[in-house]
Amino acid sequence: MAEIFPFRAVRYNAQRVALEKVLTQPYDKITPAMQEKYYAASPYNLIAIEKGKPLPTDSAAENVYTRAGRKFEEWLAQGILIQDSEPAIYAYFQNYALPGTKHRLERRGFIALGRLADYSEGVVFRHEQTLTGPKADRLDLLRQTHCQTGQLFLLYDDPARAVDAILDEAATASPTAEMRDEYDVQHRLWAIADAVRVRKIVESMAGQKLVIADGHHRYETALAYRDECRAKVGRIDPGAPYEKAMWTCFNIHPSGHSGGQHEGLTILPTHRLVRDVAGFSMKAFLKAASAYFNWYAYPFASASEREESLAEFRHDLERRGRGGNVIGVYAGDAGFYLLVLRNTAELERLLPDMTPAQRQLDVVLLHRLLLHKCLGITAEKVTAEANVSYERDLDRAIAAVDEKRAQIAFLLNPVRVKTVMEIALSGDVMPQKSTDFYPKLLSGLCIYRL
């Protein structure tokens, strides 16, 4: 069963700093340019803890992790960071616009502690594999800071919306904290310390199975740290702080609020860019792909025709994707193409090592049939990013081909939230970079001090 706990979050003191100047996006989304921007924003920006700069003189005794640990303690001592006086569960609402549109949605969830559970226990489920590098980095940081600054993004399934009713009620008061980030996402936080409300949330979540939407590396880092601490003390202490992690939970069932705003769980697609394929020919590729897909061309001969073809292509990519497997392709002046899977019955023979649910994923068909069988790009090459890179924005993916930074772009529809849940709860995983939940959860909004 899922065990949820209130906690005394460490938060930035809004009387001393502006939240817009000190909070960051998750560590794995911070580019070098963003890192510099965060450092310039404030001497108290979380970047110094979340993703500090290495120095040429770094050693085992002095490095980004030890400096992060010192910063955390210094800011606590200075009152830049303060710990709430009583345990609470924190309602967390994000109001955001879909990228490229003015249509705003609202995602409503809560931040609390959750008892860590191995995947084998059937409480917390993953939907993708992890890499060792990011886990090693986060583990070194946790060892030195003894705090969790980033949020674990978890999904649960509650059609009755029992917890949501409590969160909505709490949100009728003034927010405990509020800010707008660099992506025009409004973040609002309410501390729910009332014992009755807290107990109702805990009881409502007890029977839930949770799926990690984002933060697989952070979750597995917390497990590794827990196991280290257990080994040191030589026993399991259920009440120990390291037995828990900071969870941010969202119900997959929206409320459908009126007025143009409603709760939204948005997944953006992650498109694939392919480069450095020797002897690449679009004609040869289409011939090879025809073994599995029917293809439809959207040609153009002028700039105005290109815009018309692109608009029709985008419309059909989304429309056909609602009823089957379809992958968009762009390789330059030849035009846009849609590849529509010809025969789903063949997938069991073509992909015998995949489960039925995995075979229904466009991204699986892309990697296994188009990249591997048609272009000779193996899974090992994909992992090494020897031929494949990733782009979230469709227009930028197309531009990469036009600018000769890629030979071909594969353009995907987003995975549905329901599909993510079904695959994870069945024990399956998806290829890496299959999902991009938007917007991200801010780091530093709440901090769990172990």
Model pLDDT, residue 102: 86
Domain count, the chain: 2
pLDDT the model gives residue 258: 39
For residue 427, being part of any structural domain is answered with no
Same domain for 303 and 256? no
Share of the chain above pLDDT 90, in %: 80
pTM of the model: 0.90
Max Cα–Cα distance, the chain, nearest Å: 72
Same domain, 222 and 343: no
Based on DSSP, count helices (H) and strands (E) in the chain, helices before strands: 17, 21
Q: Identify the segments of the chain with pLDDT beneath 50.
A: 258-262
Do residues 309 and 213 share a domain?
Answer: no
Question: Taking Cα atoms as reference points, which of 439, 432, 375, 363 lies closest to residue 184?
Answer: 439
Helix H or strand E segment including 273? strand 271-274
- What's the pLDDT score for residue 263? 61
Q: Domain check: are 260 and 289 in the same one? A: no
Give residue for tokens 């705090």: 147
Going by the DSSP 8-state scheme, the letter that residue 332 receives in this structure is S
- Decide if 423 is inside a domain: no
Decide if 194 is inside a domain: yes
Clarify whether residues 277 and 236 are in a common domain. no
Q: Is residue 204 part of a domain?
A: yes
Element (H or E) spanning 403, and its range? Answer: none
β pairing state of 244-251 and 152-156: parallel
Q: Which two tokens stand for residue 171?
A: 């949100």
pLDDT at 264: 79
**Based on the domain organization, do 260 and 295 belong to the same domain?**
no
DSSP per position, 216-237: HHHHHHHHHHHHHHHHHHTS--
Do 256 and 343 belong to one domain? no
* CA 144/CA 72 separation, integer angstroms: 10
CB 403 within 8 A of CB 332: no
pLDDT for 346 equals 85
Distances (CA, A) of 14 to 95, 99, 196, 423, 447: 21, 29, 28, 41, 15
Question: In CATH, what number is assigned to the domain containing residue 387?
Answer: 3.30.1760
The Cα–Cα gap between 187 and 11 comes to 14
Q: Are residues 346 and 208 in the same domain?
A: no
Same domain, 292 and 346: yes
Q: CB under 8 Å to 124, separation ≥6 — which residues? A: 2, 114, 116, 117, 154, 209, 210, 211, 212, 219
Tell me, rounded to whole angstroms, the distance of Cα 317 from its chain centroid. 23
How far is residue 238's CA from residue 235's CA, in Å, rounded to a whole number? Answer: 10
Residue 421: inside a domain: no
**Nearest to 170, CA basis, from 201, 139, 145, 147:** 201
**Nearby residues of 8 by Cβ (< 8 Å), 6 or more positions away:** 83, 84, 85, 86, 87, 88, 449
Query: Which of 100, 260, 111, 263 has the alpha carbon at shortest distance from 183?
Result: 100
Does one domain contain both 179 and 107? Answer: yes
**Sole residue written with tokens 């500090």:** 52
Look at residue 406 and give its three-state secondary structure: coil
> Which backbone phi and psi does 65 adopt, to 5 degrees?
-80, -45
Say which residue the tokens 């979380």 belong to: 46
Residue 152, helix vs strand vs coil: strand
Q: Is residue 419 part of a domain?
A: no
Asked if residue 200 and residue 86 are part of one domain, the reply reads: yes
Look at residue 305 and tell me if it is in a domain: yes
Kindly report the backbone phi and psi dihedral angles of residue 416, in degrees, each rounded to the nearest multiple of 5, phi listed first: -80, 145
Q: Looking at the structure, tell me whether residues 300 and 225 fall in a common domain.
A: no
Distances (CA, A) of 370 to 270, 291, 292: 16, 10, 9
Helix, strand, or coil here: 379? helix
Structure tokens at 251: 């119900």
171 and 190 in contact (C-beta within 8 Å)?
yes
d(CA 72, CA 83): 12
Q: Is residue 395 part of a domain?
A: yes
Written as one string, the DSSP assignment of 68-95 is HHHHHHHHHHHTSEEE-SS-BEEEEEEE
Domain of 353, in residue numbers: 270-413
Residue type, 356: P
